[in-house]
Every structure is written in structure tokens, then in C-alpha cells.
Amino acid sequence: MRSPAIKQTNTHSFSKTLAKDWDRNKWKYILMVPVIVYLILFCYKPMYGLIMAFQNFKISRGISGSAWADPWYKWFENFITDPYFPRIIKNTFTLSGLTILFSFPAPIILALLINEVKNKVFKRSVQTITYMPYFISMVVLCGMINVYCKQDGLFSQIAVALGGTAQNYLASPDYFRTIYVLSDIWQKIGWDSIIYLAAISAIDQEQYEAARVDGANRFQQMLRITLPGLVPIIMILLILRLGGILNVGYEKVLLLYNPSTYDVADVISTYTYRLSFPTSGTPMYSKSTAIGLFNTLVNVVFLVTTNAISKRTTQSSVF
Amino acid sequence: MLKKNLKLNILDKTIMLLGGSMKQKLLKAMSVLAVGAVLLASCGTQKVTDVPDDVSAPKSSSASGTGKESTVKPGDISYPLDSDKTVSWYIQDAPQPHEKFADASESPFHVKLAQNLGVDIEWMFPTTGSDGNMFTTTLMADPDSLPDIMTVYFMDKANQYLEDDIIWDLTDYIQEYAPDYYAWLQTNPAYDSAMKTDNGQYYCFGFFREDGGWNDTYLGPVVRKDWLEECELEIPTTISEFEHVIKVFNERYGATFNSAFGRYNAMGICGAFGAYGNAVAGNGWYIKDGKVRFGQAQPEWREYMSWQNKLWNAGLIDRDILTEDDTTIKNKIHNDKCGIAVTSMGQMTNWNQERVADGKEEVWIGIPYPKSDDGEISCVFGGFGIGTQTTVITKAADEETVKLCMQMLNYSYTKEGSLYWNYGTEGETWEFDDKGVPAFTSLVTDDPDTNPMTKYNGTTWNGPAIQATNLLYLKNSKAACDANDTWFYVWPDDEEKNMAVTGGWKWPVGVTFTIEEADELDEISQNIPIYVSESYAAFLTGSKDINDDAVWNKYLEDLETYNLSRVTEIRQACYDRYKNR
């Protein structure tokens, strides 16, 4: 038990510190205001809408007027017992997993390679060319993929030239994942490598000198100095990436899939999208909100788990 | 594709961190816009609060408030109405200002309409680039500040909106304040029953085609007539002949059967197999002998699928068909990779015109929907000449405003108003030709913009009015109108039989589900469309063998787990009530 007197001095000193702090940093605080307002308005206030997940929401009646779902987990149950549930969960994890497996390491490798290039002109051109696709809008990019994958498109022509047969690759469930992951790598490899290149340039040059004196060749330097120097940033990005494991880029799937590839391409977010904006019929706000909430919970679990593992093994963590 | 993209643009920024929060965010952002617009509108109405209602002047002789025993006759309302009120009017799709105009104040149709009506109109449309359906939904999120008139698609939900007091029940007013509209509805029992609920409540002004369904069959098979001649083939009339043409074109030119999937997936040429519907579940609901059935669960559909699969395996159906749209298919149309297809009269006109622009001759002509080898056909793409668009009056309007709104909407069903809605202003945009038929003046015919008549008229696509058949003749090429004739007149000598094939089998327009039914359907019927469209793809490409009984039975079983029986039952009950109206 602490005496009230001490408590009082504490508050006193706190307000004093606060005043002092305000005096010193007031402009920083004022600069923060817009961001805080933004977060409240666009990130916290909309959470009110999550109530819909527990209602039989009707747009004409609004959140305050709609009846509560009975039982409260009705829409969660509806989602989990949906015949499509296993398929979309499987697809979401597969696509997400494949992306993490292949397109997460790709920019790291590219950064390491670029770092070894000595010719300035060549280095700059490679960087520019690899990060250019990032600036193509998703709609245009998918339009290009669509054209290339057609029966008489680029890929078919290459296949024919090599002795294969022409086909529409996007209409075949066998190729969807490959197309999805490869185009993802192509689009993002250059852009994502920038952060690693920045991290590499921050590595102390004396370490390389010391290694050279010890007789390490360039490959050994890369493996023993550059890569370990990158581990903290790699871990942080990986944790963030795993925190979004269920957030498969729905725009891309939506633009690339068609009825013949639903089986491998339909993911949680496209399913939610179809429920919320159906071509006919009523939008199912309650169910899609419930799925959104479910999605977020799974993401949080992944984020926290990876963070904990990373903290224990590599000492780097987001929080 | 385009529609999909537009939706994406809006959603671009809102990453799916929280499914719920995203939509809420959008709702907020957009309802701010909506509220703004409505505020503007209500500012306009402020000034008239002290003006007594003078809109009913022409028919003040009618004492009846209920309108049940109205003495107002068609033509009794005289325009302009000379009201001081400002009415806000939201239109989800057509008629909107032509793409060349920034807003309604530049659009001759909208400006002149307000003048002809004698009422100030505050127009409102979905923001450019947004999806109309979504915009309407967003508006509805704030039921307290809706526009007075809304031109939207409410038929399925009419009961809900009436019960929630969002739209006006027009029954008590319709005869007195919209006599011409009421008279029009009485000309055809189908029109009347489509425009009311099962309880007989009128709630909307609808869109009708003067031709009674002719142009609802705007889609059908087309062929290159020069190839037909080169190969010394007749125009195919049966499915075997149709298949033969595809084969010959394939052997001789390496061409395949192809279509924009969005045009082919509704029906295709299912009629030749006695089937109903193709890849779209929504089109599969049909009526036979008073019973509601689901086309994609019938043995005839299986036969049709089996035939499509056979052609696919033989390389006669283009492998890109599932992803083809109106833009991508042009590459094949203009590079001689397709000689027979299913498309709309508008697209066919484009194909021909683009050939002419390239210095080639027009070759595309419409051919009849193929019949079975016994000469039978179950259905063609078509309708009854009744649109699904509904123009409703919301509770934002007080009783006096409702009466005014109804008189405004009545205008397009009068003789004079109908001419304005279809052609614009006489002497300016159109004149009677020597046969006494309206024809556009050079103001319209010399205008190089696309669909220039939409600058001056309101019925080119949709609208609370009666679309004149003559307008369609003026708008479309001769070849396209001939094609429409070919598709529509399946049995030219037997009107009744023809109607049965074009519209009679269809799930009727204007059917209203009860609130309970609508809620239940929302919950249980979502998976059928997805399952049907992906099964279609699997059956077509052969990744599931349609000819295998086990596969087919599994498909039927799966449909059952997606509540097919229950959905059919609900629809049957709903249809029965509709029949009894």
C-alpha cells in the first residue's frame, strides 16, 4: 500500500513533466493531430459497423434499427457450415502460402545480387526495370496477363514454338496458382528489394574489410555479413506479411479468375466480395461482416504467433 | 469486365483489414455526398412552403381523396404544371446525361423535361465511375434524406420498402394523379400485375416496350453470309445444320464458334435441346405448365451441355470463350477466326461498321435460333416488353409532393409526353416524315457522337416511359433490325405460340417476394449461382464428364445441398400469388 501523499507527488510531477514536455514538443503534438483524427475517423469509428456481424442487418433499417441475429453467432455458423467454406479456406492458405514461400524471398535474393554488381550503369538499369511493373495499375496488369494467356496469346505461341500445344492458360485450374505467384513476383520484386538495398547500405563497411583481410571471398561475405545484417528487417517484414496471411490480394484474384478456375482461385476475400456486391439479389452485409471479422481474428492470431516465435529465435519483433 | 473494374477502383484504397469496416467507410464517404445533394435539394424547396397547392388545379372537379372513384380521365392533366416546388429525382442508370455533358444542366433532355413539366427538378445520378447499384444501396443507408423520386430496381424488395415506410403506396392516388399511366396499365393485364404487389398495391412507374417484347430478343445467333455463300451453305435452321456450319467453317477457315461470354452465358442456343438457360442460374428459372423449374437441373440441359462439350473437344468452340468479352472478341471477329457467334444487335452493327471503316463490306447477318432436328424449340432469349426498372416515390416527399411527382411521372405516358421522352422536342430534334412517323432531324442524325439521340430523349435504354418501336428502328441499322426480326419471330404465323417461346416461359417481371421469403432466400440461395457457373465451365471443358451418370447425379445432389428444392418451393409460392393477382 502506498500512501496518498506519494500518489499526489506522482501526479504532481506527472503534470509537471507533461507541461514541460508540451512546452518542448508542442509542434510535434500539433502535427500529430491530423493523423490521430484520421485514425479515429477511418479506423476506429467504422469498427462500430462490426455490430452488423451480430445482426440481421437491413440497410433500410440501419444498424440501430436492425434486429439482433438469433443466436448471436448465426452468421459465423452460417459461414463455417457453408459448403464452400473448406474450399475457400484451403485456397486462401495455399495462395498466401505460395506467395510467402516464393515471392517473399525473391526480392531479398535480388537485393543481394544487385549489391554485388559493380557496374553503376548496369545496376541502375536493372533496378529501374525491375521496379517498373510495380507502377502498372492492377487492372491494367491483369488485362495484360489476360491477353498473354489467351489461346493465341504470347505464352501459347511460345509453347507452340517449343513444341507444345496452344491453350488458354487462365481457363485451366492447373495454371492459376503459377500465374498468380509468378506475376506477383514480377510485379513486386524490384520495389520490395529497395528496402533491403537500403538496409544493406547501412551495414558497416569495416566488417567487409575485416572479412577480406581474413580471406573471405565475395560469396562468403554475402552469406556471413550481408545476409545476417538483413535478418532483423527480414523478420519484421515476414511478421507483417504473416499478419496478413488471409488477405490474399482479392483484386487480382477477382480480375483473373473465371468459373472454370473458381475451384482453385476462390478465396475468402473474393467470396466476401461476391456476397457484398452480388450481380443480382441482396447484398449480405451481416454475413460478409462476420467473415471479415473472422478473417481479422485469424490474422491477429498469426501475427502474434509469428511475433512470439521471432522474438524468441532472432530477438527481432514488431512489438 | 468494365463493371468489375469500376468497383475495384472504388475499393482500391480500402484494404480488407476488416471486411465490415471497409464497407462502413465507403458508406460514410458516400452518404456525405448524398446528404450534400439532398441538402441542396431541400434548400430549393424552402421557398415554396407558403404556396398553397395548385398542382391539382386542372382536375379540381374531383372531390374524391382516395381516387377510387376518380373522374380524372387520361389527358386531363395539362402540362406544364406550373409548380413552385423543386423535386429531387435520382436515376440509377438511364436516362442520364450523355457522356459529353458534365451534368444535367447541360443535358437538353433533362433541362427541357423540367420546362415541359413546369417543375424545377434537382437531378441526381451516381458519381461518375461508381457502380450504380452500390450507389443506390448507399443512398438507402440514410432513409431519412432520400430524393423524392428514385428510378431504381426495387421489385424484389417492394414489400420490404413499403413495410418500412420508405416508399409511397401509390394505390390511392394513381387514378387521380396518374390517369394516363393507369389507363396504360389497363391496356394489358400483364402490365397491371407487374406494377403492383401481391396485395394489389401500386408502388412504381415502370418501363415498357411498345413492341411488347420484340426488342427483348435483342440477342441471337449471327453468321458471316459471305462464308455461307463461299461454302455453298444454306442458313442453318436446325441444330444439326448449325453444327455443320461450325464444322465447315472450321475446316475451311480454321474458325471456331465464339461469343462474348456475357452474351452467350444467359441462354446460348439451349432452345434446340428443349433446355432453358445456359451458364447463368438466374436465367434458369422458368415456368412450364404453371410450375416453376430450374433449367440447369433438367435432363435437357444435360443434353445441351453434352453437345457443347462435344464441340469443345472437337476444337469447334473457341477455347477462350469463358473469358471472352465484347472487346476481346473483336480481335477474332476481324481476323477471320470466327464465322458464327451469338451476339446482340448492337454488337453486330459495330462489327459490320468496323468492317466498313476498314474498307470491307458488311457480312454479318442474324440467323434464326436453331430448332431441334424435329423442328421443336423450347425458348429463345426474350421477354414481355416490361422492364425491371422501377421509379418510386420516397417518403421524403410529403403528400402534396407525391401528387405532384405522380403528375410529373404521368407525363411520359401521355401522347405528347411520350413523344418527348422518345424523340425530344418536335421541330428541333425530330419531325414527322411524310408517312406521319417521327424521324430525327439532322441535329441528331449528323451528330458524330455515339448514340446522339440520348442527348435529347429518355427511352433509348430504360426509363419510366413507353419505348417506341420506331425509335429502335431509327437507332439501329437495317441489318440489326432484320436480325431482331429473325430472332423474335420463331413462329411468325402463330402469335400465341411465338409468345410462349419468347416470353411465356420466363420468370415474370414484377414478382414480389414477401419479406420472410426474401430474407430466407438471402440466406439459403447464394450458392446456387456460383455452383452452376463453375459446373458449367467444368462440364464444357470436360474436367467433369457430363455424360457420366455418377457425375450428373452428384451434381444434382450438390444442388440439393445448396437448397434447390426449398428455393424452388419459395419461388413457386411467390409465382402462384403473382398469377392470382
B238 pairs with which residues across the strands? B371
Decide if B195 is inside a domain. Answer: yes
- The pLDDT of residue B51 is above 60: no
- The pLDDT of residue A314 is above 90: no
Average pLDDT over every residue of B538-567: 92
Asked whether the beta carbons of residue B534 and residue A260 sit closer than 8 angstroms, the reply is: yes
Contact between A222 and A285 under an 8 Å Cβ cutoff? The reply is no
Output the domain CATH number for residue A115: 1.10.3720.10
Domain match, A176 and A292 both: yes
* Among candidate residues B444, B460, B483, the one where a domain is terminated: B444
* Among candidate residues B425, B444, B463, the one where a domain is terminated: B444
Asked whether the beta carbons of residue B320 and residue A168 sit closer than 8 angstroms, the reply is: yes
- Which residue, among B90, B97, B217, B203, has the nearest Cα to B472 in the 3D structure? B217
Domain match, B250 and B138 both: no
Domain match, A40 and A173 both: no
Give B315→chain A minimum CA distance, Å: 11
* Among candidate residues A68, A94, A119, the one where a domain is terminated: A68
- In the stretch 12-41 of chain B, residues with CB closer than 8 A to chain A read 12, 15-25, 27-28
3-state SS of B359-388 is CCCCCEEECCCCECCCCCCCCCCCCCCEEE
Q: What is the reported pLDDT for A38?
A: 94
Nearest CA in chain B to A269: B16
Detail the DSSP E strand segments found in B441-548: 466-467
* Among candidate residues A68, A98, A122, the one where a domain is terminated: A68
Domain match, B408 and B363 both: no
Q: What is the reported pLDDT for A7?
A: 52
Distance (Å, rounded) from C-alpha B432 to C-alpha B409? Answer: 25
Domain match, B42 and B187 both: yes
Distance (Å, rounded) from C-alpha B1 to C-alpha A277? Answer: 15
Decide if B144 is inside a domain. Answer: yes
Average pLDDT over every residue of B349-378: 92
Distance (Å, rounded) from C-alpha B538 to C-alpha B304? Answer: 14
Nearest CA in chain A to B561: A83
Decide if B501 is inside a domain. Answer: no
Domain match, B538 and B574 both: yes
Asked whether the beta carbons of residue A49 and residue B23 sit closer than 8 angstroms, the reply is: yes
| Chain A residues touching residue B131 (CB < 8 angstroms) | 277
Q: What is the reported pLDDT for A280?
A: 63
| Chain B residues touching residue A173 (CB < 8 angstroms) | 543
Domain match, B235 and B281 both: yes
Contact between A263 and B534 under an 8 Å Cβ cutoff? The reply is yes
Asked whether the beta carbons of residue B21 and residue A49 sit closer than 8 angstroms, the reply is: yes
Domain match, B229 and B196 both: no
Distance (Å, rounded) from C-alpha A86 to C-alpha A45? Answer: 32
Nearest CA in chain A to B11: A251
Give A186→chain B minimum CA distance, Å: 20
Domain match, B408 and B529 both: no
CA triple B388-B393-B399, angle to 5 deg: 155
Domain match, A23 and A108 both: no
Give B142→chain A minimum CA distance, Å: 7
Decide if A80 is inside a domain. Answer: no
pLDDT tens-digit profile of B230-256?
999 999 999 999 999 999 999 999 999
Domain match, A52 and A153 both: no
User: Is B388 in CB contact (< 8 Å) with chain A?
Assistant: no
Asked whether the beta carbons of residue B320 and residue A151 sit closer than 8 angstroms, the reply is: yes
Decide if B131 is inside a domain. Answer: yes
Domain match, A58 and A132 both: no
User: Is B262 in CB contact (< 8 Å) with chain A?
Assistant: no
pLDDT tens-digit profile of A174-213?
899 999 999 999 999 999 999 999 999 888 889 889 999 9
Which among B308, B522, B563 is the top mutation candidate for probing chain A, defined by the most A β-carbons within 10 Å of its own β-carbon? B522
Average pLDDT over every residue of B354-361: 91
Q: What is the reported pLDDT for B391?
A: 92
Decide if A79 is inside a domain. Answer: no
- Which residue, among B273, B263, B274, has the nearest Cα to B240 in the 3D structure? B273
Asked whether the beta carbons of residue B18 and residue A151 sit closer than 8 angstroms, the reply is: no
Contact between B16 and B22 under an 8 Å Cβ cutoff? The reply is yes
> How far is residue A158 from each of residues A204, B82, B261, measured CA to CA in Å?
46, 71, 26
- The pLDDT of residue B549 is above 50: yes
Q: What is the reported pLDDT for B237?
A: 92
Domain housing A274: 85-314
| Chain A residues touching residue B279 (CB < 8 angstroms) | 259
- Which residue, among B447, B46, B63, B487, has the nearest Cα to B235 in the 3D structure? B487
Detail the DSSP E strand segments found in B53-204: 86-91, 120-124, 149-152
Q: How many domains does chain A have?
A: 2
Terminal CA-CA length for chain A: 32
- The pLDDT of residue B259 is above 90: yes
Domain match, A169 and A306 both: yes
Domain match, A94 and A197 both: yes
Residue with cell 423442328: B375
Residues 6+ apart with CB under 8 A from A19: none
Average pLDDT, chain A: 86
Distance (Å, rounded) from C-alpha B127 to C-alpha B140? Answer: 15
Asked whether the beta carbons of residue B319 and residue A171 sit closer than 8 angstroms, the reply is: yes
Average pLDDT, chain B: 83
- Which residue, among B493, B491, B513, has the nearest Cα to B504 in the 3D structure? B491
Residue in B16, B137, B526 closest to A250 by CB: B16
User: Is B327 in CB contact (< 8 Å) with chain A?
Assistant: no
The band of A269, judged by pLDDT with boundaries at 50, 70 and 90, is confident
pLDDT tens-digit profile of A52-72?
889 888 776 778 778 888 888
In this structure, what C-alpha cell is assigned to residue A117? Answer: 554488381
Domain match, A31 and A115 both: no
- The pLDDT of residue B567 is above 90: yes
Asked whether the beta carbons of residue A168 and residue B8 sit closer than 8 angstroms, the reply is: no
Give B184→chain A minimum CA distance, Å: 29
In this structure, what C-alpha cell is assigned to residue B553? Answer: 447425379
Decide if B522 is inside a domain. Answer: yes
Terminal CA-CA length for chain B: 39
Work out the widest C-alpha separation in chain A, in whole angstroms: 89
Backbone angles phi, psi at B391, to 5 degrees: -105, 115
Contact between B380 and B491 under an 8 Å Cβ cutoff? The reply is no
* Among candidate residues B424, B444, B464, the one where a domain is terminated: B444
Domain match, B193 and B294 both: no
Give DSSP secondary structure letters for A110-144.
HHHHHHH---HHHHHHHHHHHHGGGGS-HHHHHHH
Q: What is the reported pLDDT for B69?
A: 53
Contact between B272 and B238 under an 8 Å Cβ cutoff? The reply is yes
Domain match, B205 and B333 both: no
Decide if A78 is inside a domain. Answer: no
Domain match, B329 and B233 both: yes
Domain match, A18 and A96 both: no
Nearest CA in chain B to A297: B18
Domain match, B246 and B330 both: yes
Domain match, A22 and A89 both: no
Decide if A98 is inside a domain. Answer: yes
The band of B189, judged by pLDDT with boundaries at 50, 70 and 90, is confident
Contact between B145 and B34 under an 8 Å Cβ cutoff? The reply is yes
A67 pairs with which residues across the strands? A56
Decide if B332 is inside a domain. Answer: yes
Q: How many domains does chain B have?
A: 2
Distance (Å, rounded) from C-alpha B391 to C-alpha A3? Answer: 73
Distance (Å, rounded) from C-alpha B253 to C-alpha B81? Answer: 63
Give A47→chain B minimum CA distance, Å: 5
Asked whether the beta carbons of residue B527 and residue A59 sit closer than 8 angstroms, the reply is: no
Asked whether the beta carbons of residue B157 and residue A288 sit closer than 8 angstroms, the reply is: no
Contact between A150 and A168 under an 8 Å Cβ cutoff? The reply is yes
- In the stretch 468-527 of chain B, residues with CB closer than 8 A to chain A read 518-519, 521-523, 525-527
Decide if A104 is inside a domain. Answer: yes
User: Is B320 in CB contact (< 8 Å) with chain A?
Assistant: yes
Detail the DSSP E strand segments found in B48-95: 86-91
The mean-pLDDT minimum among A34-43, A146-155, B132-141, B507-516 falls in B132-141
Distance (Å, rounded) from C-alpha B201 to C-alpha A179? Answer: 54
Which among A77, A150, A167 is the top mutation candidate for probing chain B, defined by the most B β-carbons within 10 Å of its own β-carbon? A150
Q: With left for phi above 0 and alpha for psi between -120 and 50, is residue B542 left, alpha or beta? A: left
Q: Please classify residue B220 by burial: count the beta carbons closer than 10 Å to its beta carbon, then call 0-12 exposed, 13-18 middle and 19+ buried.
A: buried
Domain match, A46 and A143 both: no
Domain match, A41 and A176 both: no
Average pLDDT over every residue of A98-103: 90
Q: Which residues of A236-260 are buried (b: 16+ CB within 10 A; e: fewer)?
A: bbbbebbbbbbbbbbbbbbbbbbbb
| Chain A residues touching residue B166 (CB < 8 angstroms) | 60
Average pLDDT over every residue of B343-369: 91
Decide if A49 is inside a domain. Answer: yes
Decide if B460 is inside a domain. Answer: no
Residues in chain A: 319
The band of A10, judged by pLDDT with boundaries at 50, 70 and 90, is low
Residue with the larger pLDDT of the pair B370 and A4: B370
Q: What is the reported pLDDT for A129?
A: 92
| Chain B residues touching residue A245 (CB < 8 angstroms) | none
This model's pTM is above 0.80: no
Average pLDDT over every residue of B480-509: 89
Contact between B405 and B397 under an 8 Å Cβ cutoff? The reply is yes
Output the domain CATH number for residue B342: 3.40.190.10
Contact between B85 and B49 under an 8 Å Cβ cutoff? The reply is no
Domain match, B170 and B205 both: yes
Residues 6+ apart with CB under 8 A from B50: none
Domain housing B552: 219-380+508-579
Nearest CA in chain B to A285: B20
Give B526→chain A minimum CA distance, Å: 8
User: Is B560 in CB contact (< 8 Å) with chain A?
Assistant: no
Decide if B471 is inside a domain. Answer: no
Give B266→chain A minimum CA distance, Å: 13
Percentage, residues of chain A above pLDDT 70: 95
pLDDT tens-digit profile of B277-298?
898 888 889 998 889 999 999 9
Distance (Å, rounded) from C-alpha B119 to C-alpha A133? Answer: 54
Q: What is the reported pLDDT for A284?
A: 81
Decide if A138 is inside a domain. Answer: yes
Backbone angles phi, psi at B249, to 5 degrees: -60, -35
